[in-house]
Structure 1
Amino acid sequence: MTLAPLQPAAAVPAPSARTGLRSVGVEEELLLVDPCAGRTVPAAASAIGWTAPAAPTAPRAVAVPLDTELQQEQIETATPPRTDLTDLAADVRALRRAADDAARSVGARVAALATFPLRVAPVLTPTPRYRAIRDQMGLTCAEQLTCGCHVHVAVTSDEEGVAVLDRIRPWLPVLTAVATNSPFWQGSDTGYAGYRTQAWSRWPGTGPAEPFGSAAAYHAVVDELMRTGTLLDEGMVYFDARLSRRYPTVEVRVADVCLDADDTVLVAALARGLVDTAAERWRAGEPVPSDPTSVLRMASWRASRSGTAGLLVHPRTHQPAPAAEVVACLLDDVRPALDASGDLALVEAGLERVLRRGTGAQRQRAVAAATGRLEDVVADAVDRTAA
């Protein structure tokens, strides 16, 4: 497949003066797998060096915008910044196909699985940074093989960005639930819909953060974390949502990589709706919600455990409530922003779809139950990833 060159995802501009819409970009981490053998393929470095062959009318081959991650079984894609979610959806699909073509060049395929269902011993990507992380983090790094979906939403300043971070905290566990796609770990059903959240929480600096109150306070906290000597660099400040280190965006990091591209776009639309809503409330002088971080950790755990198939912690009452009720509460909260951006119909349909047919976790379990083979879960994920 021949692709036009794509702008790096995180180079997201401020809200567009022409449209009034915030741009949004998506990074997806995918697994390199051999679906026939039911194993991972540690060949990311070779795969990202692949170039798409030129079309007959094109002057040269086209480099595909892919990147490596912590382990050699992972490959990362990154969309350009978009204001129109139709364009974003096309980018997500094109990049999945491009990643799959690159994987084929090394005898593999790509699978949008947030954890690998079968047993695996990950192979570290041997960069100086990743080696330093391995030396610092030990077994946590050695066992880490998870794939997330990170959404970048443009903000006008660090001050606006921190105001957004402080106000979206209660809603992030709902995004976790909607995107759950990791029920299996090392050959076993974990009992969780999104076990990636559990594995990821072993790293220092993860999870919900306390409200910061200002950009200066945010940067002071990051500086304090760095002074502990625990983290190698600011890239290891793994808050559930954070200011991007390099670009004018808020980065929402709670979602599993989604099995279906449509669900990826749904998560991106909800993230932009949350950012728009939070920024508007900040401009109106509304106070920051006072949800205790300890309660938000409980809500995140419950979202990881149940997905959309059980009870979640309600963001307003902090009591258990059916997932459909909690999802409806999120939709009501961001409805004005979604209506203004033109995304309301897409989000309504997407949430109805997820609640009706389930998340990627439910799909994985259904395939495993029908066939009795986790290898078939991997093969099914390959088919759906590039579909």
Structure 2
Amino acid sequence: MRALTMGVEEEFLLVDKASRCPSDRAAAVIADAAAELGEQVQTEFFAAQVEVCTRPVSDTAGLRAELARLRRTAVAAAEEHGCRLVATGTPAVPPARPLTVTDTDRYRRMARAFDALVGRYDGLVCGCHVHVGTMDRATALALSHHLRPWLPVLQSLTGNSPFVLGHDTGFDSWRYKQFSRWPTVGPAPVMHEAQYEAYVGALVEHRILMDRRMLYWYARPSEHVPTLEIRVADSNADIETVVLVAALVRGLAQGLLAEAERGQPPPEVSDRRLRAAHELAAAGGLHGWGLDPFSGARLPAGTLVERLLARAAPGLEAAGDLSLVEDLLRRLRREGSGADRQRAALGRCGRLTGVVDELAAATASV
């Protein structure tokens, strides 16, 4: 079985130490962190966000070490500038003032072109993206078609954004709802490479998108590295959850890539059913109801997770990750998702500032 590398991009929120509100200090924090991390630390759309990117790795131990190194450096840089690094899909404590768009030409143009979509108090979202590869665009597209029915189940493991504007949304992942404002956010379309290039070119030509980097499908060929990028997970403070999701993505991809390269057609699953499955995954998370995209049956999310594990098992075993993933899934079920932990923190301390404190501590605990 062909060995695939993997990598992760994590988006973090910066919060003020005193108020725990989003803090527009990313430029200074990134400048400090870049002395050690170079281009592995980057800006994001809002000035209260920091993104870090691992190098490609071949094993989960190497991935965890990379994630921990990046987090430690970013946490220290944030502390130097009076703020804390927080891994969460949405801010638990809302902004005290309108959010500031990062001062780059591209982000300023995006803010102007999509002003109606940019929530100045509720638009900040942080995701965790998993890359697998190396592969060309045609291969990445074929693999994305085979992966798309499994992505709602992966999403159900990663909900970590229950709060927005100071209120509990009832969703495990409100980031899913917020991010869905933007064009192309949703299941990846099924099309071969020539169709894909023509379609994307038309989206940019007709100004539905500003540029190709605004392709936000849940699975897409990356525009800057030769990988397939999976974009369904919230940013999670628990580093083991990040490792779990990356290993599952790689395990699934290992097995499904062989089918794609043999020319085996992907499952016929409608976008409508996939969107419904993603909605349920965002709402109920690990302990709610899910939708089987293959049959349309409404099933407990835990049942769908077991099916996901069984489908990924050959790839996980080939990579030596099966026992680790089984252990991490048991731990996640026992301790709860990120959203479960945020709600539990609110129950213990009775205030959202306490939720932020626990998130910051967990983000730094690597």
TM-score, with normalisation over the residues of structure 2? 0.95
Between the aligned partners of 1:223 and 1:104, the Cα distance in structure 2 is: 43
CA shift digits 1:278-322 (9 cap, x unpaired): 211123332211000011001011100011021111233221111
Summarize the Cα distance change of 1:370–1:83 in structure 2 as closer, same or farther, 3 Å threshold.
same
2:157 is aligned with what amino acid?
V
How far did residue 250 of structure 1 move? Answer: 0.2
**After superposition, where does 1:235-246 map in structure 2 within 5 Å?**
235-246=213-224
Q: Which moved more, 1:178-187 or 1:201-210?
A: 201-210
- Which residue matches 2:28? 46
2:240 to 262, 265, 268: 262
1:332 paired to 2:314: no
- Which residue matches 2:167? 188
How far did residue 67 of structure 1 move? Answer: 1.0
How far did residue 232 of structure 1 move? Answer: 0.8
Between the aligned partners of 1:71 and 1:191, the Cα distance in structure 2 is: 25
- Which residue matches 2:178? 199
- Which residue matches 1:98? 73
1:137 to 85, 106, 114: 114
**After superposition, where does 1:316-327 map in structure 2 within 5 Å?**
316-327=294-305
1:74 paired to 2:49: yes
- Which residue matches 2:362? 384
CA shift digits 1:206-227 (9 cap, x unpaired): 1013211x22222222112112
CA shift digits 1:167-199 (9 cap, x unpaired): 111111111110110000010000100000000
How far did residue 160 of structure 1 move? Answer: 1.3
3-state SS of 1:40 partner: coil
3-state SS of 1:26 partner: strand
How far did residue 270 of structure 1 move? Answer: 1.0
1:288 paired to 2:270: no
1:175 is aligned with what amino acid?
L
1:221 to 199, 202, 212: 199
- Which residue matches 1:356? 334
Contact 2:157-2:337 at 8 Å conserved across structures: yes
2:199 is aligned with what amino acid?
V
Between the aligned partners of 1:366 and 1:312, the Cα distance in structure 2 is: 23
Q: Which moved more, 1:324-333 or 1:278-287?
A: 278-287
- Which residue matches 1:24? 6
Q: Which moved more, 1:154-163 or 1:126-135?
A: 154-163
Between the aligned partners of 2:145 and 2:317, the Cα distance in structure 1 is: 23
CA shift digits 1:67-124 (9 cap, x unpaired): 1100011001111100011010011111111111111121111011110012213211
- Which residue matches 1:57? none
How far did residue 20 of structure 1 move? Answer: 4.6
2:255 to 268, 273, 277: 277
3-state SS of 2:287 partner: coil
Pick the structure with more helix per residue. Answer: 2
1:33 paired to 2:15: yes
Between the aligned partners of 2:241 and 2:116, the Cα distance in structure 1 is: 32
2:267 is aligned with what amino acid?
P
- Which residue matches 1:304? 282
3-state SS of 1:202 partner: coil
2:75 is aligned with what amino acid?
D
Between the aligned partners of 2:105 and 2:329, the Cα distance in structure 1 is: 42
How far did residue 228 of structure 1 move? Answer: 2.0
How far did residue 146 of structure 1 move? Answer: 0.5
How far did residue 246 of structure 1 move? Answer: 2.0
Summarize the Cα distance change of 1:139–1:62 in structure 2 as closer, same or farther, 3 Å threshold.
same
Contact 1:315-1:326 at 8 Å conserved across structures: no
Contact 2:33-2:74 at 8 Å conserved across structures: no
How many residue pairs match? The answer is 360
- Which residue matches 1:252? 230
**After superposition, where does 1:170-181 map in structure 2 within 5 Å?**
170-181=149-160
Summarize the Cα distance change of 1:285–1:63 in structure 2 as closer, same or farther, 3 Å threshold.
closer
Contact 1:36-1:379 at 8 Å conserved across structures: no
TM-score, with normalisation over the residues of structure 1? 0.90
How far did residue 51 of structure 1 move? Answer: 5.0
RMSD over aligned CA atoms reads 1.5
